[in-house]
Structure 1
């Protein structure tokens, strides 16, 4: 749960349950693609960066078929695991309520109703054969012991669960067992899939959350199931700020963020925005756009996010500037600032390596120090009447107005 204390008083490793995802996964690397020149057009247009071999690459000219794409309804099974050294104190029903329907609602809002995550909790405990302390559960988990845990979990559940019916697998451990470390929640990808019921299980979500859990933690982990990268920065020895890349601005950066809705770039990658809702900015002249806030519900028919949600300035073979509007609505209801957000996207950067970096348009100030995970970026958006030239790119962004419907009128000049 979030604690209302200044960020400097917060123990960052405690807030980053998913930190080991890029250090201890048995990763399934994305298919390597040859990056073309910056002006190369794809079905998504000339601003769609190429997918690269980087783990969870944010390139979106093609989809990595090793992952399920959340452009339709998907089914998730939730399996509860008990251990011989502990008697569960929480009921399975209570643990389900920790995550659902909140996680499904998060995705329904984020996708503008295009995607439904259907949870199928198995309301009983499946007995693990070994004590919880024998598995060495922790954030940076020793691979052999983690593998033993997953094999035992699958063996315990397989006689009663038909895994062929599900797209996503959540293994939820008894949170009160003595060997369970709540920092070990993560997605595990397999070099060689586990096999059950004639189905390859390529990844599972291992849930070790306390009861009640961290806010939005399962939305974050489920994002990895859909090939989204970690957007936080893991500091040396886990000491220091974790949120210097994107702050509060995407659940893949922090499950505690004040504005946790997915970046519009993520929504484009996942198929929730189509090409008509993305403006590829001309490299010359000035482009005038009206941007609907990313988290706002569509104001008219046509499916998906309806109006324009994202402007893109291509800056290199595998890099771009993304420009979108953020407002206090939907998944972003509790944001403490509104305006036009600018961020860099690099499809060659791996998960945890800074594939997205928010541009701080107010570098000499901060906001919401009592609630934000990283106050220096809490006031990153440009407000109406402000103009900013992106350092190193010479692209100038001006927020000219805000319409009565809440959209932002933006002028973008790539030449500065």
Structure 2
């Protein structure tokens, strides 16, 4: 299976449902050159950020960067995953191929696994509810006519989405759904699994009286890459790509975060979301985030990020302990600390300890908004299983200390409690 991630794309709005307006098609084509410059900033036009749900000096401010890691506010153009959200799965076939799989089989490739991933990651605060359609809907043109591939020509992609929305609208009430998945027949001759990604529109599509701001286009093989739908759905919730695309397209993509967040790699051994992302999405309570502001020594106890506690009336609870510690290091940057254990979504991890990473609010998706700091820069671990062994042993172990390069921040893991939490001393200044 391919380990190469797929970035999002931003496109002008495809032709609205109904007839094809040639003047609009010409205008959209003329806009493609300008669109290239706009793609790095995400949605060209969109709702303003909502009122700030976060507070404190360690909450980096939102910037214009695409999927900014600033979390002092929530971008209201994205659904917020703090309640059940409904996702429709539309299955698209093509005239040049008779499907050999069924919608039920393809649904089972992704659910309930993806819903369970989010339920564990959110400590039960968020539930992704799938609504798979039962029949194939045939596209008007052969699969090969859309020239589907990884770095897809924008005109061909727009044509695909325009046709898909048109044929799906007769079968789908889009007003009922928060998330839209267009799942193509994986065995059709023109389908390329590397083309799976989220497509953002500079202006939303309108269907059934509702705005459609982004669509997840799924072209995965059967069975698909592990956790691929969790990764793509993360974009729907304003999370960035955390991998690093080499300038020539060759080389290692996982040098920024390795295994440590599904937004870096769907193949990671420890793919649970970073604590920073859980804070951003509203899954951590303010009391679970320790903001280190004073110079000198600060001692705290970090519960493993994946540890959940069952409680009355809910399947999971994050517990009352601290999950994330943050040291603000500048107007646009912070150092985050969290304990990574071997439970929940991280049950395949081969190392444990306190993970340190740098967060920047002014780096766009794919540009290194999060970078894991390697506390063992001369060794590696989990060779053959890890997506990037040099970062597989990045966590700081009990009895070890580490100074963050370029910062006056020193982290010492003093001990581990009987419950599995880590006691940590952070020294700043």
Query: Structures share a fold, TM > 0.5?
Result: yes
After the TM superposition, which of the residue ranges 18-27 and 176-185 deviates more from structure 2?
A: 18-27
Instruction: Tell me how far apart the structure 2 counterparts of residues 221 and 32 of structure 1 sit (CA, whole Å).
Output: 21
Confirm or deny that 1:115 pairs with 2:129: no
How far off is 1:358 after superposition? 0.2
Q: Which residue of 2 aligns with 1:67?
A: 78
Q: Give the CA RMSD over aligned residues.
A: 2.0
Confirm or deny that 1:273 pairs with 2:284: yes
Paired positions, count: 397
- 8 Å contact from structure 1 (residues 298, 306) kept in 2: no
Q: 1:209 aligns with which of 199, 208, 220?
A: 220
Confirm or deny that 1:350 pairs with 2:364: yes
- 8 Å contact from structure 1 (residues 215, 256) kept in 2: yes
Instruction: Tell me how far apart the structure 2 counterparts of residues 193 and 211 of structure 1 sit (CA, whole Å).
Output: 31
Q: SS in structure 2 opposite 1:205?
A: strand
- 8 Å contact from structure 2 (residues 293, 328) kept in 1: no
- Residues 140-289 of structure 1: matches in 2 within 5 Å? 140-289=151-300
Instruction: Tell me how far apart the structure 2 counterparts of residues 198 and 73 of structure 1 sit (CA, whole Å).
Output: 21
Q: Which residue of 1 aligns with 2:411?
A: 397
Deviation readout 1:190-241 (Å, 9 max, x if unpaired): 0121111001100000000000000000000000000000000001222000
Instruction: Tell me how far apart the structure 1 counterparts of residues 409 and 310 of structure 2 sit (CA, whole Å).
Output: 30
Question: Relative to structure 1, is the Cα distance of residues 49 and 29 closer, same or farther in structure 2, using a 3 angstrom cutoff?
Answer: farther
TM-score by length of structure 2 reads: 0.89
Instruction: Tell me how far apart the structure 1 counterparts of residues 113 and 129 of structure 2 sit (CA, whole Å).
Output: 12
- Residues 26-37 of structure 1: matches in 2 within 5 Å? 27-29=42-44
After the TM superposition, which of the residue ranges 138-147 and 265-274 deviates more from structure 2?
A: 138-147
How far off is 1:305 after superposition? 4.7
Question: Relative to structure 1, is the Cα distance of residues 57 and 97 closer, same or farther in structure 2, using a 3 angstrom cutoff?
Answer: same
Confirm or deny that 1:378 pairs with 2:392: yes
How far off is 1:16 after superposition? 2.1
- 8 Å contact from structure 1 (residues 33, 50) kept in 2: no
Q: 1:325 aligns with which of 314, 318, 339?
A: 339
Structure 1: unaligned runs, 5 residues or longer: 2-13, 35-40
- 8 Å contact from structure 1 (residues 298, 307) kept in 2: no
Q: Which residue of 1 aligns with 2:3?
A: 15
Question: Relative to structure 1, is the Cα distance of residues 16 and 340 closer, same or farther in structure 2, using a 3 angstrom cutoff?
Answer: same
How far off is 1:287 after superposition? 0.8
- 8 Å contact from structure 2 (residues 310, 317) kept in 1: no
How far off is 1:274 after superposition? 1.6
Instruction: Tell me how far apart the structure 2 counterparts of residues 233 and 282 of structure 1 sit (CA, whole Å).
Output: 31
Q: SS in structure 2 opposite 1:227?
A: coil
- 8 Å contact from structure 1 (residues 83, 177) kept in 2: yes
How far off is 1:42 after superposition? 8.5
Instruction: Tell me how far apart the structure 2 counterparts of residues 33 and 343 of structure 1 sit (CA, whole Å).
Output: 29
TM-score by length of structure 1 reads: 0.92
Q: SS in structure 2 opposite 1:335?
A: coil
- Residues 68-147 of structure 1: matches in 2 within 5 Å? 68-147=79-158
Instruction: Tell me how far apart the structure 2 counterparts of residues 21 and 335 of structure 1 sit (CA, whole Å).
Output: 31
Q: SS in structure 1 opposite 2:199?
A: strand
Instruction: Tell me how far apart the structure 2 counterparts of residues 237 and 361 of structure 1 sit (CA, whole Å).
Output: 29
